[in-house]
Structure 1
Amino acid sequence: MCSNLGFSGWPPSTLPLLLLSVLPLVTSSSSSSSSRPQWILQRVPAVLPLQSQPRPSPRFLSPARLDVASQCDPECHLKAPPPLDRDLPQFLAYQTLHSDGRLSETAVGIYGLDSNPNQPPSRRKREIFGHDGRYSINGRDFALKYPFSAAVKLSTGCSGTLVGDRHVLTAAHCVHDGKNYVKGAQRLRVGFLKPKRDSRGGAVSNFTANMGDAHQSGKMKFQWIRAKRTHVPKGWIKGNANDIGMDYDYALLELKKTHRRRYLNLGVSPPSRSLPGRRVHFSGFDNDRPGQLVYRFCRAGEETSDLLYQRCDARPGASGSGVYARMWDVGRRRWQRKVIGVFSGHQWVERRGASQEFNVAVRITPLKYAQICYWIKGNFVDCREG
């Protein structure tokens, strides 16, 4: 597989040194009088496939999971010891499910890893959820306008986000329950929302926010594209990662054909304190508003190196949505939205003798960025800046 990198003539022992020589240095934005929040380029390691082996064909026995559960709250995650560097290749190795039912497993090598990232987690008391702050978005004027147009629906019931002309980022639990692939994963389809037409053939434009009419506009139709293959990191598969959670709850789908919609770029998740207003955004297809695209934004809360907690209102079905932020890109001299995480779902946790609710998203770390970007691009050269 290294032939995609353009280094097929190099001996294997030379490759790590060669990669280190071309990996970018840590780059920060230059001092500027502008107060605009800026994307800061970070060192991105290379996560490269080493060897792929066939695995026994899976049995698709598990029902699709539209939400996740964990007994570990934010404080528990913060206290958990970080994975050792020697364990990371095991967690970032991945399985690939092909549309014909074949299953393969790929080992990876990690090069240029910064073992001491200076990113202390923030601590903030979680606030109780208030009124429903979700927005239903329908019609050509909104639902098919970027960035809402990048949201797609999975046939297993989850949501996803377009991150390439043939690629969809979603949650791993939408296709794999940690032990088995879910029913429908082999024949997985991705739905693109189509505008609803009124009785005269025109597009309906509607933008409602928690006004009790979530079902009155009726269902919208989808155009479906089959998934060609699905990548799931082994860190998600039970027995390979820690027991507390969802650090690797992400997956990438490759479609059988290209689409024509604008997609969102990937970005390394910055500390929540550097986000504009500390806000995050995402759109998905919540089950309680069938056929509608639901958008929300909210203030980011506690975070760990791998997880981001927030107060965005959501229901099952929104899992897998790409969490994004909008910041100033100094190099391109324009505002740019980037996907910085994957919405995993709600967590109900027994904490101090009471049940408490948490919303959690998996952050795109430099390592995860390198892996997902390689799945999309097929080389590490285009994945050097996060």
Structure 2
Amino acid sequence: MFSRGSPRRFTSIHTLLFLLLLPPVLSSSNPQWVVQRVPVVLPQQTEDRPPPQFLSSAHLNVTSPCDPECHKRAPRPSYWDLRSLLAYETLHSNGLLTETAVGIYGYNPNDNTSPAYSSEAPGKTQRSHVRRKRQIFGHDGRFSIVGRDFLLKYPFSVAVKLSTGCSGTLVGDRHVLTAAHCVHDGKNYVKGAQKLRVGFLRPKQREAQPSLTSSTFNNHVEDGPAPYSPPSNDKMKFQWIRAKRTHVPKGWIKGNANDIGMDYDYALLELKKPHKRRHMKLGVSPPAQRLPGRRVQFSGFDNDRRGQLVYRFCRAGEEMPDLLYQHCDAQPGASGSGVYARMWDRRRRRWERKVIGVFSGHQWVEQNGTSKEFNVAVRVTPLKYAQICYWIKGNYVDCREG
């Protein structure tokens, strides 16, 4: 169930959300997932690296002097640049660190043509002063999800918490997608990255609860209509599973957390055992104008609502080839959440949610005397899809269509 914390406003908010999230009537104009062939990103050579350095404390904030205009002027990476950026490090739970070179096949650089790219020289890329600020834009539009009947149902059940303080999303039987800065600050691994754990919300006890087997929000919890039931504050706790290995792209490590490397602020965790929950599929990020209502949504564990899962949705803003800017309200702790969209799958004849990005965090930029605020998500591009899918599947055959 959704709750903004005010009982008197809950009924009106409930009605509003019901209308917002009601399944649209299917027509030829409905947003649809477009199946596309994606390139192949294959590991070529893996070498042991020196033991990693770990920070004394976790630095989970991302700042970047590069705003949307800066990204527009950034030169497009060459094929050889992309091979370097998509190479990756793997941190194993036993402390072993490896680096893997990759080959890229079937990649057409013309597929990434975008007005966000410019032929302007790299030296003309303008930098700006950055400072941190709050991550709530005006009225707080977040909703706490309460009650086990909702927390344990898809899609809310795919949200997990990392022991380093971030959030993540289940994208495989053993795999969690999150932000790279949740485990690595661009130079060193953060404290706790080697013994990383992933937390799943579960009930504390099994006392009898009012039966609510289906969602009031037909579009959001996939079971069908049900009578309204007030939110239940069931006691929940985290059950933790250790991560076996963590993959981080070299684009993040080479670029540094404070540079344009935020384009590669994503990481994949492999758990030591399967989680036995339904996971969300990965999808190539479509253009913002193709998203239903141009809207994106994600759920995470914001620090200011301790122990609660927080859901939000907002209109997608400006987009770059690798980044999506938006003003979804969020607080520290939500970083690493999977940004997803719900669109019609014509092949399977059903509505389907897919993770199309990773929420990176807040950016406050001062440039030419003007201050601007952004929340930034890393888009799942075809190349990133190919890489992450290979990490999950272990083969490229199952990763050719995004």
TM bracket (short chain): 0.7 to 0.9
Query: Residue 63 of structure 1: CA displacement?
Result: 2.3
- Structure 1 or 2: larger helix share? 2
**Distance in 2 between the 1:97 and 1:203 partners?**
44
**Distance in 2 between the 1:355 and 1:48 partners?**
42
Query: Residue 367 of structure 1: CA displacement?
Result: 0.2
> Which amino acid is the alignment partner of residue 79 of structure 1?
R
Of 168, 177, 192, which residue of structure 1 is paired with 2:176? Answer: 168
- Secondary structure of 1:141's aligned partner: helix
**Distance in 2 between the 1:79 and 1:219 partners?**
50
**Distance in 2 between the 1:164 and 1:317 partners?**
22
1:14 aligns with none
Matches within 5 A, 1:257-296: 257-296=273-312
Of 66, 69, 90, which residue of structure 1 is paired with 2:63? Answer: 69
**Distance in 2 between the 1:368 and 1:182 partners?**
23
**Distance in 1 between the 2:110 and 2:380 partners?**
17
**Distance in 1 between the 2:264 and 2:56 partners?**
19
1:37 aligns with 31
Query: Residue 383 of structure 1: CA displacement?
Result: 0.1
Q: Is the 8 A contact 2:265 2:360 kept in 1?
A: yes
> Which amino acid is the alignment partner of residue 42 of structure 2?
L
2:156 aligns with 148
Of 51, 59, 63, which residue of structure 2 is paired with 1:57? Answer: 51
Deviations 1:119-163 (A, max 9, x none): 53589xxxx933110000022121111000000000000000000
Of 70, 90, 106, which residue of structure 1 is paired with 2:84? Answer: 90
1:188 aligns with 196
Aligned length: 342
- Secondary structure of 2:340's aligned partner: strand
Q: Which consecutive aligned stretches of 4+ in structure 1 deviate over 2 angstroms post-superposition?
A: 118-123, 195-198, 200-207, 216-220, 238-245
- Secondary structure of 2:365's aligned partner: strand
Q: Once structures 1 and 2 are overlaid, which stretch shifts more, 230-239 or 95-104?
A: 230-239
Matches within 5 A, 1:227-306: 227-238=243-254, 243-306=259-322
Distance 1:190 1:204, change over 3 A: farther
Distance 1:69 1:203, change over 3 A: farther
**Distance in 1 between the 2:263 and 2:102 partners?**
18
**Distance in 1 between the 2:109 and 2:388 partners?**
20
> Which amino acid is the alignment partner of residue 57 of structure 2?
P
Query: Residue 61 of structure 1: CA displacement?
Result: 1.9
- Secondary structure of 1:53's aligned partner: strand
- Secondary structure of 2:236's aligned partner: coil
Query: Residue 352 of structure 1: CA displacement?
Result: 3.2
**Distance in 2 between the 1:121 and 1:271 partners?**
12
1:358 aligns with 374
Q: Is the 8 A contact 2:185 2:256 kept in 1?
A: no
> Which amino acid is the alignment partner of residue 195 of structure 2?
R
- Secondary structure of 2:391's aligned partner: helix
1:7 aligns with none
TM-score, normalization: structure 1?
Answer: 0.84
Query: Residue 62 of structure 1: CA displacement?
Result: 4.6
1:100 aligns with 94
